[in-house]
Amino acid sequence: MKFLPLVLGALLIVLAAWLWPGGEWRGGILAWVNETILLFLAILLIRYGIRLLRQRKEPRPGSRLRAKLVIALVGMLMVPSLVIQLTASQMVERGMAVWFDVRVDKLLDRALKLAQGFYERIEKDLKRSLRGYIHDPQLAVAARSGAPAGDLIPYLAETMRREGWEKVQLFDINERFLAGVQEGELGAVEAEPLSDTARLSLQLGQPTTEISIKQGRQQALGYAPVMDALGVAGLLRVELELPEGVIQSARSVEKDYQSYLVLERNRQFLQSMFRHAMLLVTLVVVLVAGAVALVFARRLTTPIGELAQALKRVQEGDLGVEIVAHSQDELGSLIDSFNQMTLKLRKNAQAIEQAQHDLTEALASSRQRQYVLESLLASLQTGVLLIDAGGRIRLLNQSFRELLSVPSGWIPGASFIQHCQGFLPELAGFYDELTMQPSGYLQQEFDVERAHRQPMRLLVRGTRLKADDATGFSGYLIVIDDITELTEAQRSKAWSEVARRLAHEIKNPLTPIKLAAERLQRRFRRQVDDPEVFDGCTRTIISQVERLQRLVEDFSTLARLPEPRLQRVSVRHLLEEMAELFHPYKHVSVILPAADLTCQCDPDQVRQVIINLVDNALAAAEDHVQVRLYVQANDGWIEWHVEDDGMGIPADIAAHIFEPYFSTKERGSGLGLAIARRIAQDHGGDLELLSPADPTHFCLRLPGARPSMEES
Amino acid sequence: MSRSRFPWLVAGMLGFMLFAVQGFAGESVNLKVQIDEKVVYCDARWPGDVTTIRKALQSGVSLTLMWQMDIHRLRPYWFNKKIASVQAARRVRADLLSHRWILEDIGGGITHAVFSVDEAVAFLVGLNNFPLLDKSLLAAGATYRLSLTARLVEGDMPTNWWARLWGRSGFEMSLDFRLPRAS
């Protein structure tokens, strides 16, 4: 389609070259007008075609439609115009073939020959008659003498009558009129100047004739030289009146014949001119049709182009576009509809923008609230679980995951009941009971077993959430708190109170009992019958009282454990003390740290804890079992590790070894590890059983010395 | 097409058309200028095919050859100034009844007949010592241009001015000449 204008332009150039005026007949101005129009159209088409080929970007909206309309309209007019031209050319060629038919040519030629024959006959007869008077002696004498005789006039009259002439005149050699007669009026004979034909007769010595039209009459004029022995003496001029209309008919035939000749000679030119005239009409029709089509198409496509341009701008987001309607027709109605559409779009866009702005603000506020809520939930030590009415998890925070160590399947959208079965039956039971509660609130405490650790005490509270108009959400909110330490603290406090009361109530009477027993032993030993039994009984009393005193002392220590006096303590130095202390025990190995670590602690209390741990290891292990004491620095903490390869601690016992008054020894108070953990917690650290067996591994974690403190 | 270029294109095409209609200036011509003491003459000869003219006359077609001669003074930086304009027309009419050719000098009103077609052709196609203008109208040393247009018409003479547009084109000739300076 892009090459169509170029092809049409090339065709027009070929047509212009074919019709280029040349030769003798150049076609006149019509040919050049046609050439000009053809070349003009060819240049327009070629220029348009080149512009189409070089066009890279999308053409202006409506230009293609305009081109199609122009081509369609011009083509619609060109086809009948070309048909008419071809038909007319054929008709003209056939008509001219008829006009210039050979029969017409012959007819005119014969008519001309007939006229020529008529004239030739008259002239021949006239010449023949005149030849008889060339040597007429009477005429010669009169001509030679220059003075006409008296009988010359009758002689001329007789001759005129005899030959049938209308007029006879005699001239001398000097063309001087001598005498003459004519039919009818004798007085009308006048001397007329001789013509070239007459002089030619004098020169040639032969009769000559010519045809003359005078006063509407046709005459044949004859000239004959009059000769004597000396030569030409004069000239005889005669006139013969021709039949009226014959000469006119002959001239008319001559004129028609000449006109026919001109037309025949111009036949090619006429055909060419007619062809050019028809071509000019066609080209003018094409030009006018093209101009009208262009104007019409422009008027039609301009609003469409503006509409397309406006639609493109709307597509690009410019809703402020508005088109001016120049007409009230369908296009005008379409433009009005478009303007109304853009107006509505603008209003809708403004409304959407306003709504978007409001939504953005609401979303920002909602996100802020969500962020605050998520931060709050994340920072909470309390586990939070939100379950919808369908029993599916909607939300759970990190503390909930860490407290219960839930598997990865616990995600929002998962079924709470399904995940609870077999994993947290207590929590599943709590949920079932909560759903049954008429009040919608339930609180319970239960223990959750943990591997190698003391069971975790949980406080679980549940609330039913009812749907309202604002949220439309209904479900259950479960909040879980780890109250293990709280319970432990309460228990320690209770034990401390018990210990204080025991110490207060038991410690005071023990000393008098012991003193009384010793006094009995000193004063009444010699008075008893069996001193051995007496000694045995008193020693038993004294030893049991002393045991009770130690027990009470331990309880007192547990109850009133002093505040640690923190100071910077060299770990290496403390370990060296331990190594010196347990030097007799060959299977106790104290591993000194490579670097000089510093611990912020009360050295006496820490020393007490370590000795307690090592003593327990030695007590529980056999002689050949290795006991290892070493220290590690870990993330700002100083960890004291005591390991032994003994039999280990049973699992059921390991969970209670830090409880006060829990001991597996016969003579133990069960307060050693409880005091040790209390010391560790008072330092801000902890004492944990990392492994109950293989090896039995305790870890005392204490805070390390701060750099500023170390510098100070 | 931009609106600014369209008029230039139309003007160019009209110029081409006018150039084409004007004929073929500069063709091989026989044009001479003769200057005597008082009068400027010119000799001109029809540059076209004489044989065609002879055949036309022999067949009985009447021919008229119209000469248009214009003399301009050449001015380098301005339009040329027209000094004189002379027209001449010669017509040869075949008298088929008497087998003669009537020679007519339309401008001079002289008519005579010849029986030889060669005489008729020579009368028609040539201008010999045709007086153009008085020498006193020309300035010595100035350059003048004699422009001659010859147009051949067959048959009757056209009476309408536009009739020649439909006919065949003629020939144009030009010759520059200069009056010698007085010694």
User: Tell me, what's the pLDDT at A349?
Assistant: 86
d(CA A62, CA A68): 10
Average pLDDT over residues A425-449: 85
CA atoms lying within 13 Å on the CB side of residue A19: 29
- Tell me the chain A residues in contact with residue B167 when contact means C-beta distances shorter than 8 Å: 28
Dihedral angle, C-alpha A482, A483, A489, A492, nearest 10 °: -110
Yes or no: say if A478 and A382 are a contact pair by the CB < 8 Å rule: no
Q: Which residue has the higher pLDDT, A264 or A158?
A: A158
Average pLDDT over residues B154-159: 73
Indicate yes or no: CB of B97 within 8 angstroms of CB of A48.
Answer: no
Average pLDDT over residues A671-697: 86
CB pairs under 8 A between A and B: 79
Residues of A numbered 7-26 whose beta carbons fall under 8 angstroms of chain B's beta carbons: which are they?
Answer: 21, 24-26
Cα of B79 to nearest chain A Cα, Å: 26
d(CA A620, CA A646): 7
Average pLDDT over residues B127-146: 89
Write the burial class of residue A568 (CB in 10 Å: 0-12 exposed, 13-18 middle, 19+ buried). Answer: middle
Find the helix or strand (DSSP H, E) in which B127 lies.
strand B126-134
* pLDDT exceeds 60 at position B169: no
What's the sign of the alpha-carbon dihedral B135, B137, B142, B148? negative
- Tell me the chain A residues in contact with residue B16 when contact means C-beta distances shorter than 8 Å: 36, 39
Indicate yes or no: CB of A29 within 8 angstroms of CB of B10.
Answer: no
User: Tell me, what's the pLDDT at A698?
Assistant: 92
pLDDT band (50, 70, 90) for residue A666:
low
User: Tell me, what's the pLDDT at A684?
Assistant: 87
Query: Taking chain A, what is the end-to-end CA distance rounded to the nearest angstrom?
Result: 94
Q: What are phi and psi of B15, to 5 degrees?
A: -60, -40
* pLDDT exceeds 80 at position A473: no
Of A32, A119, A266, which is closest to B97 when you measure between CB atoms? A119
pLDDT band (50, 70, 90) for residue B24:
very low
- Tell me the chain B residues in contact with residue A208 when contact means C-beta distances shorter than 8 Å: none
Indicate yes or no: CB of B98 within 8 angstroms of CB of A196.
Answer: no
A225-229, A261-265, A647-651: range with lowest mean pLDDT? A261-265
* pLDDT exceeds 70 at position A15: yes
Q: How many CB atoms lie within 10 A of CB A195?
A: 16
Q: How many CB atoms lie within 10 A of CB A553?
A: 13
Cα of B72 to nearest chain A Cα, Å: 26
Tens-place pLDDT, residues A385-424: 888 888 888 888 888 888 888 888 888 888 888 887 777 7
Give the chain A residue whose CA is nearest to the CA of B94: A258
User: Tell me, what's the pLDDT at A453?
Assistant: 62
Q: What are phi and psi of A2, to 5 degrees?
A: -70, -25
Find the helix or strand (DSSP H, E) in which A399 lies.
helix A398-404
3-state DSSP assignment of residue A481 = strand
Q: Are strands A588-590 and A627-634 parallel, antiparallel or unpaired?
A: parallel
Average pLDDT over residues A192-207: 86
Q: Does A567 touch chain B (CB under 8 A)?
A: no
Q: How many CB atoms lie within 10 A of CB A326?
A: 13
CA atoms lying within 13 Å on the CB side of residue A194: 28
User: Tell me, what's the pLDDT at B144?
Assistant: 92
Spatial neighbors of B78 by CB under 8 A, at least 6 apart, are: none
Average pLDDT over residues A608-627: 82
Indicate yes or no: CB of B169 within 8 angstroms of CB of A26.
Answer: yes
Q: How many CB atoms lie within 10 A of CB B151?
A: 19
The β-bridge partners of B95 are B100
- Tell me the chain A residues in contact with residue B155 when contact means C-beta distances shorter than 8 Å: 258-259, 262
Give the chain B residue whose CA is nearest to the CA of A111: B97
The β-bridge partners of A568 are A600
Of A21, A112, A210, which is closest to B98 when you measure between CB atoms? A210
A21-25, A29-33, A478-482, B19-23: range with lowest mean pLDDT? B19-23
Indicate yes or no: CB of B96 within 8 angstroms of CB of A112.
Answer: yes
Tens-place pLDDT, residues A214-259: 776 778 889 999 998 888 889 999 988 887 677 777 778 888 888 8
User: Tell me, what's the pLDDT at B94?
Assistant: 87
Dihedral angle, C-alpha A146, A151, A157, A163, nearest 10 °: -80
Q: What are phi and psi of B101, to 5 degrees?
A: -125, 125
User: Tell me, what's the pLDDT at A504?
Assistant: 73
Tens-place pLDDT, residues A27-42: 567 788 888 888 888 8
CA-nearest of A177, A154, A181 to A167 is A181
Q: In b/e form, how buried is each residue of A293-310, taking b as 16+ CB within 10 angstroms?
A: bbeebeebbebbbbbeeb
Yes or no: say if A433 and A442 are a contact pair by the CB < 8 Å rule: yes
Yes or no: say if B97 and A119 are a contact pair by the CB < 8 Å rule: yes
3-state DSSP assignment of residue A453 = strand
Q: Does A410 touch chain B (CB under 8 A)?
A: no
pLDDT band (50, 70, 90) for residue A642:
very high
Asked, as a colleague might, if the bond just before A509 is cis with ω within 30 of 0, I would say: no
- Tell me the chain A residues in contact with residue B166 when contact means C-beta distances shorter than 8 Å: 28-30, 273
* pLDDT exceeds 80 at position A706: no
Q: Does A259 touch chain B (CB under 8 A)?
A: yes
Share the mean pLDDT of chain B.
80
Of A24, A33, A44, which is closest to B168 when you measure between CB atoms? A24
CA-nearest of A637, A640, A642, A639 to A621 is A642
Q: Which residue has the higher pLDDT, A345 or A264?
A: A345
User: Tell me, what's the pLDDT at A25?
Assistant: 47
pLDDT band (50, 70, 90) for residue B145:
very high
Indicate yes or no: CB of B113 within 8 angstroms of CB of A196.
Answer: yes
Give the chain B residue whose CA is nearest to the CA of A23: B168
Tens-place pLDDT, residues A84-123: 888 888 888 888 777 777 677 777 778 778 877 887 888 8
pLDDT band (50, 70, 90) for residue B18:
low
Share the mean pLDDT of chain A.
82
Cα of B143 to nearest chain A Cα, Å: 33
Q: What are phi and psi of A647, to 5 degrees?
A: -75, -20
Measured CA to CA in angstroms, residue A242 lies from A128, A219, A274, A637, B97 at distances of 17, 5, 44, 163, 15
- Tell me the chain A residues in contact with residue B113 when contact means C-beta distances shorter than 8 Å: 196
User: Tell me, what's the pLDDT at A235?
Assistant: 92
User: Tell me, what's the pLDDT at B163?
Assistant: 63
Tens-place pLDDT, residues A299-344: 777 778 888 888 888 888 888 888 887 777 877 888 888 888 888 8
Q: Chain B interface, mutation test: which of A254, A268, A273, A280, most B Cβ atoms within 10 Å?
A: A254
User: Tell me, what's the pLDDT at A226?
Assistant: 92
Yes or no: say if A479 and A473 are a contact pair by the CB < 8 Å rule: no
Indicate yes or no: CB of B94 within 8 angstroms of CB of A258.
Answer: yes
CA-nearest of A569, A545, A571, A565 to A634 is A571
Q: How many CB atoms lie within 10 A of CB A607?
A: 16
Q: Which residue has the higher pLDDT, B82 or A596?
A: B82
- Tell me the chain A residues in contact with residue B21 when contact means C-beta distances shorter than 8 Å: 29, 32
Yes or no: say if A323 and A61 are a contact pair by the CB < 8 Å rule: no
Tens-place pLDDT, residues B31-73: 899 888 889 999 998 888 889 889 889 888 889 888 999 999 9
pLDDT band (50, 70, 90) for residue B120:
very high
